[in-house]
Structure 1
């Protein structure tokens, strides 16, 4: 298993800590941590009267776990050797270096050499307790690397030195109150249990930072980018007030760079002092510096093999004669040159910056030496970690090809495309180049990934405040059998919806990236349980979807389909405008031939949790001539991610939707007799029911006539707003126009033909240390209007709050708490009756369940 860098550093530190000072030459690996022999054993004496003799046999006494063969392997004496005191000393030292023995005595019995040993005990169990800052697995692996693990030989000196090293490690993390207490318990059969109890304590906090010698810049400007900072009200989150030697070293390097980027070539840090309070809880940092003078650039010269025309490469050099010297500008120039050469195959190109400093004139001459190195081919592209996703699915996202010249831009673009598939954990796609053995002009490009849940099987695990308990069976797979195809089969039922659906999408129907998909679904929908107008519908549809990429980030798509929508609305319970629309059309079943064209641009760097990039989508959906009603819907979506810092990502979102009818409006006139009984509508006696109002006359005796018009966007296609996916803090779908049913004062949300919603959201990806969760703070604004003429900015609603999103194994969980900043209260008349319905607030909102 490959160790993380933290593990490798810990293992190296622990190994270094226990290496004995006398071990300066190569020894057997098992002897690397041996205890040096006691002073009295350095020159052991044989029995009285013994001198040099020839060994006829060798006997080993005292062995329990270790075999005699192991002793003979390390013993530098064999039968037939003539030995003396010097040879005996060498033998004792050789056996001590194995680390297996606590005591070694060598004597003779006649001509037999007798080796008497006392074995060190074996570690039966190693227990770590109390460690939080250093993970148990990291610590255990570091101890295992130096032989301090279960089953290994116990070495007391190694344990003591490990204790000292762990104390130093915690001190480097600012925890000076740490207590490390090792306990060794003797067991039978020469075994021990080792327990290392750690009391980490609290990290010492930085109370004051003092910079001495800064005359040109304020201390606040110099320490603005430091990871170390004085304790403040945000330190609970940033943890910048916890002292660390490594962090301080990095901060001092930033200070040095700050001055070098502003021309202070002679800047130096003269002294650094860190003091701690007697209770080891407060730290005080003082750094003394010498700023020096500002240097300017006297000349800039480009040398070496530029490969490309020299004048083209010189345009990449940002440093110019007469400018104030800046190392950052020189680094940007070098990076631009190496990136340009890297894109045409020179993977190992280097730019050596050679400064010529004239301290008398306060100038620096710059020579940029270009060393392109060999031009490199990519021999092979290798994928690792994709246990489910086939290589073909990943290979078709590659913009770097095998056998082609190396291109850093193409390799980076391929990495982004893999991240945007959504099959891998956020930030888990890594790329490395490996030189081909025996070749200096070929490399292998290796992409390593960690796969995530690309699908789910959900059974009865959904709940939301809007829908209540959702019983559903859904099998969805965005990466079906590792093929990259998306398949979903669903059966769902809750208080307002029954739905059965099947969808399939092949994103690479052709090698050029043409996608082809199909959607089939049937549903029964009760809008009265959906916080919208009281009517129900039964829908069925079949659709085919085509998509074609036209650039790296742009795609156009088309949809064609047919659907059937049967509406059930009743006067007295449904809003009047809905019943009138149905009566004007003259039927409750709407048939549609539907088409949609869309353009999308997606430059986000990740599918699941992007940190930069933009998503835009424009779509036009319309029913084709011959449909029951003819209308269109325009929709525009925009979302941009701005990386503010390493810990903050800002997302700005906007959505605009508009719909209307096209063609002739549909008219229908109703006449009533004196007795109140309806007469046959126009057209029943040969008239034209589609004529404008007034073109038909009612029969004799009529006292009332009414003409209904079906115009504008159909009510069942209206836009809605409010809820967890638009303006949080307001109940789902309750914003916008409301209307009452006949003889009713209860106002029902009916939606509108114009929707405008915007949001500004700040994500804190490091607040929760999990790649599947993130916390955000947001401000949402938006509303729905009956039509364009009804739009008023004063009617926009707004809210602010915080949200938690978690991609749990059972499905996504979203929890938000929002406080309405702009809302409408109910208006009542003098009798207390509601004349204008206010907004329905719902500050805490959550959804649970579903598929990724």
Structure 2
């Protein structure tokens, strides 16, 4: 809307009733056609325009004026045409003042341009982001380079005041300043003094005799100031929020049968300093009503008795609007699953106030059966349509199914390619058709991988470099690719992993793993030995239901172990000597079953994840063993602000087949053999079970049994029991003649956790905060398990999906740990746990 000064509005009004004296206009060099109010009325006159001249232009071209001017050369002009021309030019919004006159037969248009906005600055705004404000100002034409309209500036001031009032800030001041510059330009500065938000000091309900006020306001978004208000912000008054709370109050009574409930009055008062709010509401509770009859009518499409089973309320029960709405929703959902996308259930009540009963008729209006014409995806700037389309359970050309659409939405959320909660679906009717819709899925892409590059130096490790690229949605294809190269004094690792989750159209996944590694385990807080690994694996996955998948892995690997007497624990040296070789070859197989019903991949709020796996080396491997692992995780939505996650993991491993046994002998009269692992000149190991040869006597028998030490489970750290150093829980052993105990891991692992997530504590969809309690440990075997040996910790954690990968920071306080015990001489009798309260991980999934 263009603002026209009052004097021009007056001139326009007069132009339609007062005729200019063209004889008088011609007498002077130039005179306006709009006659001043004091001029006497004259009889209408007209003239033919021989030429048109535009005066007063600075930035706007004459061609622009001619485009909007409804008068051309050769036109006959009278007072009506003049009024139309002035109004047309004012509607452009380019001019502050417009005058039209004549000089002979030349039409002279004199204009005063509105100034251009040279610079627009905002200051003081904290609650509303500058980018959002700038975008809104640009939408109404208040932006740098645009024509300045003071009316638009006034509207902005009013709208900002309203928005801050909605945030509870009633003492906000919006101060616009317009500074005139040369060349018809202006600078605009908008200063915002937000002030403090008004807080609700007291809420008073009057007339509630049956229920306590605390019960009535328990679900309200508005609340009196309390110790949690800094987080919930529930003590900030908002008219819209209060209206919603009063609606909740109404529903509270209607759900309990109080049909005549009413809110008689609502009063909101504010303190003189506009800092404190007081809310009072008067209500009438009424009496409880029961159901006298309930009947299903209309076109039910399905057999009537099938829909009647969905009716929750029964004759004689207390009236409840919530149960009534649930019944209607169940019926519409059932019809929606067979194609009736626009089905409705109209509730027709018959209230008998004398007997306090309600008769209800549920009228079913199915509407036309709807076919899905097209499925459309929006917002997938990186992910191809094919990747999303293969997750669809609703198909084009098929009958509309709400259940299939809901399932498709969940499958998209579980891909992990999009922001949590950003997958939205909408059914759009096809224009000109009442039985077709387009289903539109809107998504917001997020980071689906991580890139890690590290470069460092220390006297101990020397130069350390590492590069890792992991992408769960490689080039938008849905394939997962991971490449890693890492090198320092203690570690060299090169690996490649690939997975195609849709190798076939039926959903069979196919993947490969290749890696080579030289590794010193001591750097990972485990027993001191080193290894060189090389492996190649291929794995398959096949979905058997919507949430169940079975998978298989087959591979071959080679693991060369290096242990040293005096540095490595004696049991490791004994195991290697019992096997009789340092290189372990394995044909490996793994079978697994997983069930995943979580509603989101990145930040689930409900659903369960379970996985059972059996990994084993096949006969013919150097050592034959198996590992069984079970994982369980369930998310429980407590309310909109709290989500509880319960996690549990147990793993167990052991050998199968015959144990590997070796007997060590020595010559008679010679000194005992050195500790196993070093060969004596006059004696050597003999195959297990054989007697010592002539001239030799038995020295020692070594047996390799149970789960190999290099396959042990470990616990402790950011991904198991937080607050304890990575991999340090469980059995420990010292090296030969060494007092230092080294973590050995164990064949049995038990880890559990209770974690409460606070989705609304941080507004960013890429971050979340939680409080947790972790419990767990590893044990040498099943017989060594003791519940008293379980470790526990409690703390808080922050998880953030950074652009280069997920980051997790936790601070944990050990609740149950083992302290170090020394004797009177200061010697360590019992070693304590290694604690690490602040822990940080980068690049792992969470």
TM > 0.5: yes
Matches within 5 A, 1:362-511: 362-460=356-454, 471-494=465-488, 496-511=490-505
CA spacing shift, 1:468–1:133, aligned 2, 3 Å: farther
What SS does the aligned partner of 2:210 have? coil
2:779 counterpart (768, 771, 785): 785
Partner of residue 45 from structure 2, selected from 28, 37, 53: 53
Whether 1:676 and 2:676 are equivalent positions in the alignment is no
Measure the CA separation in 2 of the matches of 1:333 and 1:128: 52
Q: Which residue of 2 aligns with 1:309?
A: 303
Contact 2:661–2:703 (8 Å) recurs in 1: yes
Measure the CA separation in 2 of the matches of 1:463 and 1:53: 95
Is residue 553 of structure 1 aligned with residue 547 of structure 2? yes
CA contact (8 A) 1:125 1:193 kept: yes
Task: Kindly indicate whether the alpha-carbon contact (under 8 Å) linking 2:48 and 2:77 is maintained by their aligned counterparts in 1.
Answer: no
Choose 747-756 or 155-164, whichever is displaced more. Answer: 155-164
* Alignment correspondent of 2:29: none
Tell me how far 1:127 sits from its aligned partner.
2.0
Determine whether 1:532 maps to 2:526.
yes
Partner of 2:294: 300
Partner secondary structure for residue 137 of structure 1: helix
- 1:696 maps to 691
Q: Secondary structure at the match of 1:460?
A: strand
CA drift at 1:337: 0.5
Distance 1:468 1:825 in 2: 34
- Secondary structure at the aligned position of 1:43 is classed as helix
> What does the per-residue CA deviation read over 1:656-687, in whole Å, with 9 as the maximum and x for residues that have no partner?
001111112222222345431549999x9999
2:252 is aligned with 1:258: yes
Match of 1:666 in 2: 660
Q: In terms of mean alpha carbon deviation, does 497-506 or 242-251 score higher?
A: 497-506
Quick one: structure 1 residues 799 and 247, their matched pair in 2 at CA, closer, same or farther if it must change by over 3 Å?
Answer: same
Partner of 2:637: 643
How many equivalent residue pairs?
815
Partners of 1:481 and 1:91 in 2: how far apart? 58
* Per-residue deviation, residues 63-107 of structure 1 (Å, max 9, x unmatched): 3334455556666667654635x7766665555454433334455
Measured in 1, the distance between the counterparts of 2:527 and 2:684 equals 36
Instruction: After TM superposition, list the pairs within 5 Å mapping 1:69-148 onto structure 2.
Output: 71=65, 81=76, 83-84=78-79, 92=86, 95-109=89-103, 114-148=108-142
Q: Distance in 2 between matches of 1:418 and 1:470?
A: 39
Secondary structure in 2 matching 1:565: strand
Higher alpha-carbon deviation: 663-672 or 40-49: 40-49
Look up the match of 1:592: 586
Q: CA deviation at 1:479?
A: 2.1
What is the 5 A alignment of 1:225-264?
225-264=219-258
Residues 683-715 of structure 1: per-residue CA shift (max 9 Å, x gap): x99997332xxx73576584x622211111111
- Provide the C-alpha distance between the structure 2 equivalents of 1:80 and 1:810, rounded to a whole number of angstroms: 69
CA distance in structure 2 between the partners assigned to 1:408 and 1:467 by the alignment: 59
1:239 CA displacement: 0.8
Cα distance change, pair 494–449 in 1 and its aligned pair in 2 (3 A): farther
The unaligned stretches of length 5 or more in structure 2 are 16-33
1:143-182 aligned at under 5 Å gives the runs 143-182=137-176
Q: Which residue of 2 aligns with 1:28?
A: none
Of 720, 728, 738, the match for 2:722: 728
Superposition TM-score, scaled by structure 2 size: 0.91
Partner of 1:14: none
Q: Which residue of 2 aligns with 1:26?
A: none
**What is the Cα deviation at residue 336 of structure 1?**
0.4
Pick closer, same or farther for the CA change 1:89–1:161 going to 2, 3 Å.
Answer: same
Over the aligned positions, Cα root-mean-square deviation in angstroms equals 2.7
Residues 491/821 of structure 1: CA separation in 2 closer, same or farther (3 Å cut): same
Relative to structure 1, the CA distance from residue 165 to residue 424 in structure 2 (aligned partners, 3 Å threshold; closer, same or farther) is closer
Partners of 2:143 and 2:7 in 1: how far apart?
A: 23
**Secondary structure of 2:538's match?**
strand
Q: CA 1:767 to 1:398, structure 2 compared with 1: closer, same or farther past 3 Å?
A: same
Q: In structure 1, which of residues 575, 590, 597 is the aligned counterpart of residue 569 of structure 2?
A: 575
Q: Secondary structure at the match of 2:534?
A: strand
Q: Give 3-state SS (helix, strand or coil) of 1:528's partner.
A: helix
Structure 1 stretch 368-377 or stretch 267-276: which is displaced more?
A: 267-276
SS at match of 2:723: coil
Shift of 1:188: 1.4
Residue segments in structure 1 that go unaligned for 5+ positions in a row? 1-30
Q: Residue 525 of structure 1 aligns to a residue in which SS?
A: strand
> What SS does the aligned partner of 1:53 have?
coil
State the distance in 2 between where 1:785 and 1:527 align.
19
Contact 1:496 1:530 in 2 (8 A): no
For residues 560 and 108 of structure 2, what CA distance do their matches in structure 1 show? 102
Kindly indicate whether the alpha-carbon contact (under 8 Å) linking 1:810 and 1:850 is maintained by their aligned counterparts in 2. Answer: no
In structure 1, the residue corresponding to 2:687 is in which secondary structure?
coil
Task: Please give the per-residue CA displacement for 1:599-657, whole angstroms capped at 9, x wherever unaligned.
Answer: 00011111112111111000011111111111111100011111222222211111000
- Equivalent position SS for 1:817: strand
Q: Does 1:623 align with 2:612?
A: no
Report how far residue 722 of structure 1 moved: 0.4
Go from structure 1 to structure 2 and tell me whether the alpha carbon gap of 1:193 and 1:828 turns closer, same or farther (over 3 Å shift): same
Question: Tell me, what secondary structure is at the counterpart of 1:394?
Answer: helix
User: Residue 133 of structure 2: SS of its match in structure 1?
Assistant: helix
Shift of the 437–490 alpha-carbon distance from structure 1 to 2, 3 Å rule, reads same
- Pick from 14, 27, 34: which aligns with 1:43? 14
- 1:178, distance to aligned residue in structure 2 (A): 0.9
